[in-house]
Structure 1
């Protein structure tokens, strides 16, 4: 059995180098078996940073086929897991949705590739002031993520519920506050790092976008949200990510099979019962 982590934790930076080079396994580490005749163990490094993502990496490690072994590389923010993958310090990461990865590729001339949606976190807006969105007052402050892809996600929710109107000529996946053409409540928008949005809620900001992973740390659940996202297309589902140069390797294909296993699905299905997320793949894909 795997050990389930909490939905929040203080995570230390544990990035490590990729070890000795091996031309047959790219950036993976191999533990040789000497003269025993046993099959060599191939280590696949996967960067991640928070439960339930880290839990899923560990579950995949429990079920991955031999001779592969999964090594979880925990990082402490939303930058390091992509930098580590880009720099060949890890073989894959599991911490982001595709629009976030695409923005990273654009800014860093990256070659990261989204392989498979795994789960869709149910995000929304929370308020320490209002019990329902109908109570939203004129001039209220709204805390939204400072990164472009999650800013667009937050604004799309407000647009969907007609709190604001975004320019229809702009793709909602890249929309910013500059693309708001109607703001009848005269809302003011404050950009805050994704990891600090829970603090904005505690500071009394009237309306705060957040993920269930983060808001859970102060005892809130998705049923406490005044607005919840409705995304049937799983545009912002958390994905397993690799690089263009290793995405088709036997190691990554074995990792992908483990991430879409019955064991991972059962864990996600259990979490879906409390409303945090929903599985974003079908067994047998």
Structure 2
């Protein structure tokens, strides 16, 4: 009986030690997993070259022990929704006026952290090679969101095709057009669908960004005219939230996205469509 009792005691001791060991190992694994997770930066983006910039920045951040995960979406809504809902740490897909409009509509607190590049935007025409050839009553396709609509109208104002009210600048709307001598007819279309208007026979001018017009084989050099005065507010920017804008993750991401590697990439691979903004 004494031997049996001793054996049972030894067994209990071994089981206890094994359990403690398992708990310690589990705690260690949890700590390591949490540590790795803290070094992961999730960034939502939509399409090239924004996604390319994130990937170049990821290689730079890796040198400092960080992992940048690209979360790619296919519209102009999800990257802000994901950030607002804290499913990602940042996004890179928009300019500040577009972000501000989202904040107003969704009561969000997104913050522009760093301007990365200025896209070369302008108007394209399949049917006309000279602005003077544009007929009266011609149809003009512009974005249907307020921030991009204002930019498009400002470019037309620069070219003398319309006259906007004094002082509206890039914040103009169709209601702010004071003179429209050519009686241009405006078509408000979602930014992602604007390129399709280019091939419509009765559309004379189509506003667009290099990213989207590239889908039909065009680039800024093919534009009838480009924006003359670049407003830095429209630079495509790194965006975070008010609650994490000063975090180590965002500081590291900003460092990586303003690295020489990213600047070299923008200048060497995309000089025909954009200019660095840092």
Distance 2:30 2:239 in 1: 36
Residue in structure 2 matched with residue 243 of structure 1 by the alignment: 241
CA distance in structure 2 between the partners assigned to 1:125 and 1:33 by the alignment: 59
Structure 1: segments with no counterpart, 5+ residues: 1-31
CA distance in 2, matches of 1:193, 1:101: 16
Worse-superposed segment, 34-43 or 199-208: 34-43
In the alignment, the residues of structure 2 paired with residue 192 and residue 36 of structure 1 have an alpha-carbon distance, to the nearest angstrom, of: 50
Q: Structure 2 CA distance, aligned partners of 1:104 and 1:230?
A: 27
Q: Does the alignment pair 1:119 with 2:117? A: yes
Q: Distance in 2 between matches of 1:33 and 1:69?
A: 21
SS in 1 for 2:160: coil
- Residue 173 of structure 1 aligns to a residue in which SS? helix
Aligned residues of 1:45 and 1:90 also touching (Cα < 8 A): yes
- Spell out, residue by residue over 1:4-30, the C-alpha distance to the aligned partner (whole angstroms, 9 max, x if none): xxxxxxxxxxxxxxxxxxxxxxxxxxx
Given that 1:39 and 1:67 are in contact with CA atoms closer than 8 Å, whether structure 2 keeps it comes out as no
Q: Distance in 2 between matches of 1:214 and 1:36?
A: 44
Matched residue count = 248
Q: Is the 8 A contact 1:140 1:188 kept in 2?
A: yes
Q: Are the counterparts in 1 of residues 143 and 190 from structure 2 also a CA contact under 8 Å?
A: yes
In structure 2, the residue matched to 1:92 is 90
Deviates more, 1:123-132 or 1:214-223: 214-223
Q: Is residue 50 of structure 1 aligned with residue 43 of structure 2?
A: no
What is the distance in 2 between the residues matched to 1:38 and 1:78?
33
Structure 2 portions without partners, runs of 5+:
1-26
1:262 corresponds in structure 2 to: 260
1:272 deviation in Å?
4.2
The equivalent position to 1:207 in structure 2, one of 205, 209, 224, is 205
The structural deviation recorded for 1:231 is 3.2
Q: Secondary structure at the match of 1:83?
A: helix
Hey, what's the Cα distance between the residues in 2 that align with 1:44 and 1:33? Answer: 22
Contact 1:115 1:239 in 2 (8 A): yes
Give 2:182's match in structure 1, choosing from 178, 182, 185: 185
TM-score normalised by L of structure 2? 0.85
* Matching residue of 1:134: 132
Distance 1:239 1:231 in 2: 19
Q: Tell me the CA shift for residue 233 of structure 1.
A: 3.9
CA RMSD between the two structures? 1.9
Change (3 A) 1:187 1:68: same
Shift of 1:67: 3.0
Q: Contact between 1:40 and 1:67, CA under 8 Å: does it hold in 2?
A: no
Structure showing greater radius of gyration is 2
Moved more, 232-241 or 188-197: 232-241
- Would you tell me which structure has more helix in proportion to its own residues? 2
